[in-house]
Amino acid sequence: MQLYKKQHIKIYNSLSGKKERLKPINEGHIGMYVCGPTVYSNVHLGNCRTFMSFDMIFRYFKHLGYKVRYVRNITDAGHLVDDADDGEDKIAKKARLEQLEPMEVVQRYTIDFHNILQKFNFLPPSIEPTATGHIIEQIEIIKDILKKGFGYETNGSIYFDVAKFNETNEYGKLSGRKLEDMIANTRELAAQNEKKNPQDFALWKRAEPEHIMRWPSPWGDGFPGWHLECTAMSTKYLGETFDIHGGGMDLKFPHHECEIAQAEASNGHSPVNYWLHANMLTMNGKKMAKSTGNNILPGEIFTGDNEILSKAFSPSVVRFFMMQAHYTSILDLSNDALLASEKGYYRLMEALKTLKKIEPNETSNFDVSVWRQECYDAMNDDFNTPILIAKMFDAVKRINLLKENIETITSADKETLLSTLKGFIFDVLGLEEKIENVSNSDKLSGVVELLIQLRKDARDNRDFDTSDKIRDQLSAMGIQLKDGKEGTTFSIS
């Protein structure tokens, strides 16, 4: 029997504002769409957190035995500066500033995006479509929206008529905004004078002569609006209604709100059953921003080439840090937080090694089956990775008691404990026990063993001051020595 038949997941649905039991449209299958990056710069660490949250969710579905079609797009056209309907395309602007072809910009930063995600041990999505690869599909949706009376043409641009749509539907239901309030709080801007109302948004924009990225359409040369690509690609690969749509909290309005409106106007029904939104990443208690200098790139964390952190941190340590907060919570990055996560990560890896060496007994003090279900209960409660990790460390404590022969475990329970730990640590949380980490661990072990020998020599010579100094300083660094009949051993806390 597949695990998903026994494990029932509840998801916080942004659309309803409450947790709901996950009921896939097709049993055993899940369709999930996540808004991907606009590839005009190096991937932002905050974006990595969002994508990591959905990678974890994707992994958990697969772990439970679901067949998942995970679609995550690449925005390589149509995303204008400041998320507005006027101005310059972000990619075209970067191309102009760096004197490159737009697709050179796209290629450079798509490669960077993939390289960073690979370092973080992301699973690739099932499909990774691009906006420019689906211009035809977007034009067809625009034709359909125009035919049904929810759009209008002005000077070669096509806009979505929000007021018309709101007569029969509810614009703003995802973000909890009322159209009347939006109208009352809107100042008319000169740049919006070709729209009927400021709330209307572009489906297709006329390309000015200087605009580099342009495609032919029934309304003249132009380019698609930013919101349209996700409606076109999610519909094409997942159907008119699919299970899950995810993205960052900042996309809830207007991007996801506009997606709902486009799909309902075109198809006549709601496109998504569950909307999931990941929260933001801050640094040292403040919003991350290049303009203020309160910003760091993933690669700068991995190399240590920055003025914010005291040392380099591996991708798995950073990933472990991010998994320690619920995906819907704001997470604050700091040097202390990463140092603490590094200690926790190594404690977890050390416990796995220790468990493999433990000799089983005829009895168990640890009810592994109850603990195992508690791990699943944590993940079934809206993918609660902080609770899952707490359960992992409950197991670490028990493993240390087993190591000290204070508790016992049967062979069957040991195998269940080991397989469950490995399943959640590696398959679900996506952590890695990197070769370089093992190498560094071996070097550390060699250094500690040398100090243990020097301490033994000092004790043999009745130089207890030196002996105690070695023990105390190792303890201060989180390395605990334990003297026994077979000699001195150590553990890292």
Neighbours of 446 (CB within 10 A): 10
One-letter-per-residue 3-state SS of the chain: CCHHHCCCCEEEECCCCEEEECCCCECCEEEEEECCCECCCCCCHHHHHHHHHHHHHHHHHHHCCCEEEEEECEECCCCEHHHCCCCCEHHHHHHHHHCCCHHHHHHHHHHHHHHHHHHCCCCCCCECCECHHHHHHHHHHHHHHHHCCCEEEECCEEEECHHHHHHHCCCCCCCCCCHHHHHHCCCCCHHHCCCCCCCCEEEEEECCCCCCCCECCCCCCEEECHHHHHHHHHHHHHCCCEEEEEEEHHHHHHHHHHHHHHHHHHHCCCCEEEEEEECCEEECCEECECCCCECCCHHHHHHCCCCCCCCCCCHHHHHHHHHCCCCCCCEEECHHHHHHHHHHHHHHHHHHHHHHHCCCECCCCCCHHHHHHHHHHHHHECCCHHHHHHHHHHHHHHHHHHHCCCCCCEHHHHHHHHHHHHHHHHHHCCCCCCHHHHHHHHHHHHHHHHHHHHHHHHHHCCCHHHHHHHHHHHHHCCEEEEEECCEEEEEEC
Q: Which two tokens stand for residue 138?
A: 């977007």
Q: Which two tokens stand for residue 347?
A: 């404690």
Whole-angstrom distance, CA of residue 351 vs CA of residue 339: 19
| Nearest residue to 316 via CA among 141, 466, 433, 451 | 433
Each residue of 388-419: b (16+ CB within 10 Å) or e?
Answer: bbebbeebbebbbebbeeebbbeeebbebbbe
CATH class of 3-278: alpha beta
Whole-angstrom distance, CA of residue 36 vs CA of residue 492: 39
Whole-angstrom distance, CA of residue 206 vs CA of residue 64: 47
Whole-angstrom distance, CA of residue 52 vs CA of residue 47: 8
238 phi and psi angles, rounded to 5 deg:
-125, -10
| Nearest residue to 492 via CA among 479, 476, 481, 477 | 479
Whole-angstrom distance, CA of residue 166 vs CA of residue 257: 12
89 phi and psi angles, rounded to 5 deg:
-65, 135
* Tens-digit pLDDT string for the chain (493 aa): 799 999 999 999 999 999 999 999 999 999 999 999 999 999 999 999 999 999 999 999 999 999 999 999 999 998 887 777 877 889 999 999 999 999 999 999 999 999 999 999 999 999 999 999 999 999 999 999 999 999 999 999 999 999 999 999 999 999 999 998 888 776 555 445 789 999 999 999 999 988 889 999 999 999 999 999 999 999 999 999 999 999 999 999 999 999 999 999 999 999 999 999 999 999 999 999 877 888 999 999 999 999 999 999 999 999 999 999 999 999 999 999 999 999 999 999 999 999 999 999 999 999 999 999 999 999 999 999 999 999 999 999 999 999 999 999 999 999 999 999 999 999 999 999 864 444 455 567 778 888 888 888 888 888 888 888 888 888 878 788 878 766 787 766 5
For domain 282-428, which CATH number applies: 1.20.120, 1.20.1260, 1.10.540, 1.10.730?
1.10.730
Name the residue type at position 232.
A
Instruction: Classify strands 272-278 and 242-248 as parallel, antiparallel or unpaired.
Output: parallel
What are the boundaries of each domain within the chain?
A: 3-278, 282-428, 435-492
Q: Which two tokens stand for residue 95?
A: 């191309």
Neighbours of 354 (CB within 10 A): 15
- According to DSSP, the residues that pair with 32 across neighbouring strands are 70, 244
Q: Which two tokens stand for residue 443?
A: 């070097």
